[in-house]
């Protein structure tokens, strides 16, 4: 079973009573909870722990890292971000949630601004499945409906995703590519849009199912990092004149 580390900034929970009440053990705790129920070994790590909770020991023992951040992207140390990036290239899966689109790690792996439109207006979101054969959509109906969410709208400034799995409809008139996969090195990356801190999104059974599916999909395969650098020929190379 995959070992998952759920990383959370954990600032809204402390600063906003509404969020603290909604997620009493933090967004990380809520997510680790349903992952544990699903049979994974799920730990947590947060911004204010030493090394943000992402020590070498933790990272090396993590198959899939989940990332939620919003207020304090700038407080995440560059060295930690670079270690996470190396682990992704080495094969660790990465699931970036909601406002994590602006995290250092996601922007670094994408190479783009990762910017988007947004609006907080208690808005209905409907996530349509556009890739019905994909394991991340397993067990989900034709769409997931969330009564109230923050809106994220296009253009979403990411590279064209390898696979587009969900696209969101918003009440206020926008659409958004809300479930996108990417590969980077030996690692798989999944971006999943929902999860504004003031809504009970991570208690929604369909949202939980998607995250569970994504962990299964993103866990590393058994294969070493390729050999790079100067290489001996595998075949004889003919001598040539000048």
Beta bridge mates, 181: 163, 190
What number of chain residues touch its own copies (CB under 8 A)?
A: 81
Q: Which of residues 94-133 bind its own copies (CB under 8 A)?
A: 108-113, 115-119, 121-124, 126, 128-133
Q: Taking CB under 8 A as the rule, does residue 74 contact its own copies?
A: no
Q: What DSSP line would sit under 93-149, residue for residue?
A: EEEEEGGGGGSHHHHHHH-S----EEEEEEEEEEEEES-TT-GGGTT--SEEEEEEE
CA dihedral 25, 150, 125, 108 (to 10 degrees): -80
Pick the closer one to its own copies by CB: 58 or 165: 165
Q: Taking CB under 8 A as the rule, does residue 79 contact its own copies?
A: no
Q: Which of residues 207-226 bind its own copies (CB under 8 A)?
A: 220-223, 225-226
Q: Which of residues 39-58 bind its own copies (CB under 8 A)?
A: none
Stretch that binds its own copies, among 7-15, 28-36, 59-67, 229-237 (CB under 8 A): 229-237
Beta bridge mates, 179: 166, 192
Pick the closer one to its own copies by CB: 5 or 178: 178
* Residues contacting residue 74 through CB under 8 Å, at least 6 positions apart: none
Q: Which of 41, 89, 204, 206 binds its own copies (CB under 8 A)?
A: 89
**Distance in Å from the first CA to the final CA of the chain:** 58
Q: Taking CB under 8 A as the rule, does residue 227 contact its own copies?
A: yes
Pick the closer one to its own copies by CB: 33 or 185: 185
Instruction: Decide if 190 contacts 152 (C-beta within 8 A).
Output: no
Pick the closer one to its own copies by CB: 39 or 111: 111
What is the contact mask toward its own copies in residues 171 to 210, using x (rule: CB under 8 A)? xxxxx-x----xxxxxxx----------------------
Pick the closer one to its own copies by CB: 28 or 83: 83
Nearest one of 215, 223, 188 to 3, comparing CA atoms: 215
Q: Taking CB under 8 A as the rule, does residue 142 contact its own copies?
A: yes
Pick the closer one to its own copies by CB: 32 or 218: 218
Phi/psi of residue 209, nearest 5 degrees: -60, -40
Distance CA 162, CA 180 (A): 7
């Amino acid at each position: 079973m995959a070992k998952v580390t759920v990383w959370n900034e954990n600032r809204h929970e402390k600063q906003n009573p509404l969020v603290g009440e909604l997620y009493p053990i933090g967004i990380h705790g809520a997510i680790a909870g349903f992952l544990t129920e699903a049979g994974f070994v799920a730990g947590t790590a947060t911004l204010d722990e030493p090394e943000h909770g992402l020590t070498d020991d933790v990272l090396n023992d993590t198959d899939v890292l989940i990332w939620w951040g919003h207020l304090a992207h700038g407080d995440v140390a560059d060295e930690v971000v670079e270690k996470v990036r190396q682990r992704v290239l080495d094969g660790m899966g990465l699931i970036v949630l909601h406002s994590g689109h602006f995290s250092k790690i996601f922007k670094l792996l994408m190479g783009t601004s990762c910017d988007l439109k947004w609006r907080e207006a208690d808005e209905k979101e409907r996530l349509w499945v556009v890739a019905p054969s994909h394991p991340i959509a397993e067990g989900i109906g034709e769409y997931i409906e969330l009564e109230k969410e923050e809106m994220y709208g296009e253009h979403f400034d990411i590279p064209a995703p390898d696979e587009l799995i969900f696209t969101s409809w918003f009440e206020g008139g926008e659409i958004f590519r809300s479930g996108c996969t990417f590969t980077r090195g030996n690692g798989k990356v999944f971006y999943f849009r929902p999860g504004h801190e003031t809504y009970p999104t991570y208690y929604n059974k369909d949202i939980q199912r998607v995250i569970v599916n994504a962990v299964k999909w993103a866990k590393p395969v058994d294969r070493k990092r390729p050999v790079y650098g100067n290489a001996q020929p595998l075949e004889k190379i003919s001598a040539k004149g000048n």
